[in-house]
Structure 1
Amino acid sequence: MHDKVSAKTVMIIDDEPAARSNLREVIESFPELTIIAEIGDGKSAIEAINQHKPDIVFLDIEMPEIRGFDVARATSHINYQLVFVTAHEHYALDAFETNAIDYLLKPARPSLLEKCINKILHQEEIALEALQKQKTPSHNLVLSDGNALRVLEQRHVTYIEGIGRYRRIHLTQEGTELNRMSTIISGTTLDEFEVQLPKLDFVRLHRSYIVNSNYITMLSAESRRYYVSLKGFGIKIPVSREKVAELKQRFQ
């Protein structure tokens, strides 16, 4: 039996009534959650968050006049769990900058929304379990994803690239379908990834790249620099000079 007194308070902020309805239907199925407001514009959202200080906010990004990112920045002094729900995948890096706990693409499937809510409700248990998995041999990859830990199957990773202070994990087609996004932004360092990933399958080709060797199709030289091509990706990834001999030996 769940105690409604200790229920977490939730706000839904989206200018589309249908999107709010979809979120409401799933959220209301959790006795641990209480929806205290549904808001359709950024200005009212900022006022309501400041006034009511919710525990969880489901926030659209593209809204008239004041966007979701502006709402998040204007209320960053309030401690709430932020989940972006948007139709635009390319906002993932900006979303990570706001410390959002999750990033869902519209239309948000009920199963993914339920998984997101369970992650929020059971953060401590999930984090402890993920950290325990790091200590034992595993086929999973544990990464920092905003304020939470995310667990991916290693085989769903094609390559990881460093982009400034963050890393971008590029997923296989199967990984993309499961996670509903083709890339995931993480604060986990490449050195930390390198420790987790098996050296038989993954190789650190460059200070900014780790590659799943199963996807390497070609090693080529251009202007005295070496690059690898990856199956299914129209990209050439640089190979540092000290890694060229190792790579050649690997594929002999």
Structure 2
Amino acid sequence: MITAVIVDDEALARESLLSMLKLFCPNIEVVGQAHDVQSGVKLITDLSPDVAFLDIQMPDGSGFDLLMNFNRITFKFVFITAYQEYAIKAFKFSAIDYILKPVDPTDLINAIEKLSETIREEETNHKFQTFVDNIKTNKNNPQKILLKTLDELVVAEVGSIVRCESQSNYTIFYFTDRPKIMVSKTLKDFDDLLSDSGFFRVHQSHLINLNFVKKYNRFPDSHVVLNNDEHIPVAVRKRDVLKELLKNLDKNRFVF
């Protein structure tokens, strides 16, 4: 049985979540509820739950502020927010679980399934610290990304990623400042995540950081040359889009 607490300033929201947990997640036992940051900190300190469901906006602060009260986070947490755009990018880049209000049963069940996985305390703290760093810089354009390999959790600067390459259900990341790593997610996952941060999927197997493109050769075979002199193929249907993206990136740098 997983013990949990709910911290939300709306009594109706707390009761609704409690009912849904009882109905859809019988392995979760809610052992306490709190209505703001201060009472939430006390509740977690007193009860030491396995997981905390945290509202973002509360009268005396946020769910983030609550977590900042702990030197080490020894419990798992899920943010619950009514604001679809608020910090969502930072959540995704930091691999932090969140659920949008009104809570959908499927989203809740998926979040609980993730919580059931073995997650080390160190990983939880890495996730939150990465999230805090992203929020402090710009939640609409996160600067750090958390990547999980088979052996470790890697926190990397988004700007240091040169390219990503598909390998079956895994993705190989290439950096400017560290050896390559293999991450246990598909290239599509990272295409969706990084496409608004200066990355473009030029080929079904390749996602590149446009800032590292040195040259784009369209003939005889379409490919880009990166700053490290790697040649990456460009799919036929991607050629025109890539051309426009590079023009917008630096009109004086590329000649077509």
User: What pairs up with 1:95-244 in 2 under 5 angstroms?
Assistant: 101-123=96-118, 131=150, 137-138=167-168, 151=185, 154=188, 157=191, 160=194, 170=196, 200-207=205-212, 214=238, 217=241, 219-220=243-244, 227-228=245-246, 236-237=248-249, 244=254
Change (3 A) 1:152 1:76: farther
CA offsets 1:117-142 (integer angstroms, 9 cap, x no match):
10110246xxxx9849xxx9425659
Letter in 2 for 1:25: S
TM-score normalised to structure 1 length: 0.55
Change (3 A) 1:141 1:48: same
* Aligned residues of 1:49 and 1:75 also touching (Cα < 8 A): no
* Aligned residues of 2:5 and 2:52 also touching (Cα < 8 A): yes
1:51 matched residue in structure 2 = 46
Residue of structure 1 aligned with 2:11, choices 10, 14, 17: 17
Cα displacement (A) at 1:67: 1.9
For structure 2, list consecutive stretches of 5 or more residues without a partner in the other structure. Answer: 120-147, 152-165, 174-182, 214-225, 227-233
TM-score normalised to structure 2 length: 0.54
1:91 matched residue in structure 2 = 87
1:232 matched residue in structure 2 = none
For structure 1, list consecutive stretches of 5 or more residues without a partner in the other structure. Answer: 1-6, 144-148, 161-168, 171-182, 184-189, 221-226, 230-235
Identity %, equivalent residues: 25
* Aligned residues of 2:169 and 2:185 also touching (Cα < 8 A): no
Letter in 1 for 2:210: L
Q: Aligned residue pairs: how many? A: 185
* Aligned residues of 1:141 and 1:153 also touching (Cα < 8 A): yes
SS in 2 for 1:84: strand
CA distance in 1 between counterparts of 2:5 and 2:104 reads 19
CA distance in 1 between counterparts of 2:189 and 2:95 reads 26
